[in-house]
Structure 1
């Protein structure tokens, strides 16, 4: 017996029903992006490794899927390198390309490559899959979609405000209650200065970012392992555990970071964004979270993360300000800020909370029964008129038994079936059956269309 085929771990197939749900997610996000003046672009699934490497930190580089060179990829490789089993050195010789890890770095490359064609500030959105060689687990996949929106060419904090409005609007449309968490990398830099560990900023942010996943004790152990002194870790505790309203936290941090110009700038940036959002009356909670760090090294200002309140799952949206990203591609001084919706996690949340509207998952609305050649010829013009009226409909392709055709309608959750036999044809009508209630009525073409649309 042949072995049943399978797919790689961390990937998924999606059925027609699941695809209808995913398209509901993409269409909702796309429509909100368009409301705010964002334009869509796409970039290739694979990029040159030189574009990707070094942009995500050491941990991110390890998670890049690398693509073997075409043809004889061993050509020109030193046999000593092969026997040494130095995977990093070998990868540099065997692979020139890799699958994109996110959409932000390819976007930065796009901006630099097409800079002469773009009008600044440039507001783009992009909905495409990305790949990470991560350990698959609940809510974490090796292949998943991101739905990004970025603004480049503007330093204004109004961009941050607008992106948080987009987040609020999208999740309100989905019916998902969320908490929007905000912090600032400048605040984190100021904290590192304040505890006397400026050179350990990356280690501090990576550890603090894991607080909700591994707990305070494990975070402190990671900080200690990274070479941060016990005295510095002790100074960090009140900040990690800081409670209170956003205003109270901001006031505390103004005092704590009084000697740090960078830290105070971060506090004021957060204060502007939070106060402006408060005046706009968002539907969802917005919280200043001083432990939020976002692991990626390219963030330089405000950072964001969104958590669902009614489901235990990781971040479902994230992003932040990056001032230097295009500089690595030869275009310094171009500031940007962006967010990314995790479509696959949103899919799981909507499933768990059963929040999909019925119309989002409805496929065919009307099935025409096939009794034979003459009946089909009679039904096809009615079918065409129904489609022209915007009704999703189909005709069963074969003249099969009625039971089989009704089973087909039930299996596909088709709510209405149109039946036209000799009697209906003589009266220039059809029998319309409601598959939910079982009710049947003899109707004209116009009445059929009106009944199904209703």
Structure 2
């Protein structure tokens, strides 16, 4: 019999990991709610037609398709089988797929519930998604996204608040040296227009989106492979050479895009967001404009965001952008939206790499009552009821057994305090509290136990 295993790109999470993951989710959720976002959930699987064509050619290839129930080959496209056309075949044997992200399902949700939602509608969603990426460091086939989106508003104030949310969440999580990178798809459209390559905008964005991974020369080679001419690549060259602070980059962009109405509009939008953010101030964030930031998803039309951490073992940990008509693909025209996504799994990897998880993020139980017998057990259970009602995470060892065994249990679980109540303590209505880290013991009353543990 073969050993049990799990698919590549997926992981099991033990209690320690789950306590830390839940701390990440709770921290993110609390910021989302402070900014007025409301929670929703959507199914793990969507109709394949809902997802296909929304993520670009490369993204479509990464969608996990679900085979139809029963004898799926019975209704398979026989011509596709004969022709060896796997893409054509997939639509006859698969009508559903695991969601690739949370944004497209959200657009579908908005269209289906449009008459019941306020305008603008601010939602947050924390759920897993699936992508057929090649597994690697910081790259999984099943992972959680934590999204906020605002639909039904064109105001750039939304973009400003999203930058604030990046700042608040990542500061609360104590992520070090993170940078919010900002660009605008209108700027990229303007650069393509100036290069006389507007019809190749998607090819250009897909290629330059790989700049950090493969470097400038290989990006240019991919542009050639995608049919971009040498003259057009020369015209795109300013993308790779802009430097200086944000105002300097904005001025260079404005000068380069003078003859492009859409490009000029993109520069104006960038300038608004940058100047507003600088005026209100942030806790930790360094916001930087990068004209080469493209984000390969086809539905972005305005601001685009990405967050990276200096010296991190993984790539970007957050991303997002504005989409002017994503709901239009489902029949609801003119519903503009903007949103961002936090990659919880990559955030976990960054915190673990830098050893930055706070001590409380690894603790599930704060206090263990040792079990010395039936008489002591009854008093412990009474105190447990009271302590739990105050919010303390506490438990009792279920059996009266050797103290060494009970102490080992506390150590194995990382429980910081153990309450020892033997016959002497019971007679005097006192508790001996042991600090498992320092080894110190102190005598106190039941009334003082909560503060001693939480203090």
TM-score between the two structures when normalised by the length of structure 1:
0.97
Query: What is the CA distance between 1:447 and its match in structure 2?
Result: 2.5
In structure 2, runs of 5+ residues without a counterpart are none
Partner of 1:430: 431
Cα distance in structure 1, aligned partners of 2:234 and 2:80: 46
Partner of 1:213: 213
Query: What is the CA distance between 1:346 and its match in structure 2?
Result: 0.5
Partner of 2:371: 370
Seen in structure 2, the aligned counterparts of structure 1 residues 3 and 76 have a Cα distance that, compared at 3 Å, is closer
- Structure 1's consecutive aligned runs of 4 or more residues displaced over 4 angstroms after TM superposition are none
* 2:331 is aligned with 1:330: yes
Cα distance in structure 2, aligned partners of 1:428 and 1:368: 15
Partner of 1:59: 58
Residues 413-441 of structure 1, C-alpha deviations (whole Å, 9 max, x = no match)? 11111122222222222222221222223
Seen in structure 2, the aligned counterparts of structure 1 residues 238 and 76 have a Cα distance that, compared at 3 Å, is closer
* 2:398 is aligned with 1:397: yes
- What secondary structure sits across from 1:8 in the alignment? coil
Alignment of 1:247-286 (within 5 A): 247-282=247-282, 283-286=284-287
Cα distance in structure 2, aligned partners of 1:411 and 1:258: 65
Alignment of 1:25-424 (within 5 A): 25-176=24-175, 177-282=177-282, 283-424=284-425
Query: What is the CA distance between 1:147 and its match in structure 2?
Result: 0.5
Cα distance in structure 2, aligned partners of 1:376 and 1:119: 54
Query: What is the CA distance between 1:72 and its match in structure 2?
Result: 2.0
Query: What is the CA distance between 1:386 and its match in structure 2?
Result: 2.0
Contact 2:322-2:339 at 8 Å conserved across structures:
yes
Residues 114-149 of structure 1, C-alpha deviations (whole Å, 9 max, x = no match)? 001011000001000000011111111000000110
Contact 2:51-2:104 at 8 Å conserved across structures:
yes
- What secondary structure sits across from 2:372 in the alignment? coil
Cα distance in structure 2, aligned partners of 1:450 and 1:273: 46
- What secondary structure sits across from 1:43 in the alignment? coil
In structure 1, runs of 5+ residues without a counterpart are none
Cα distance in structure 1, aligned partners of 2:384 and 2:239: 66
Query: What is the CA distance between 1:75 and its match in structure 2?
Result: 2.6
Query: What is the CA distance between 1:403 and its match in structure 2?
Result: 0.9
Aligned residues: 453
Residues 37-87 of structure 1, C-alpha deviations (whole Å, 9 max, x = no match)? 111100000001111111111111111000111122223224454344321
Cα distance in structure 2, aligned partners of 1:348 and 1:78: 43
Residues 153-202 of structure 1, C-alpha deviations (whole Å, 9 max, x = no match)? 01110011110111011111122221111111111111111111111111
- CA RMSD in angstroms comes to 1.3
Residues 238-268 of structure 1, C-alpha deviations (whole Å, 9 max, x = no match)? 3212111111111111111111111111110
TM-score between the two structures when normalised by the length of structure 2:
0.97
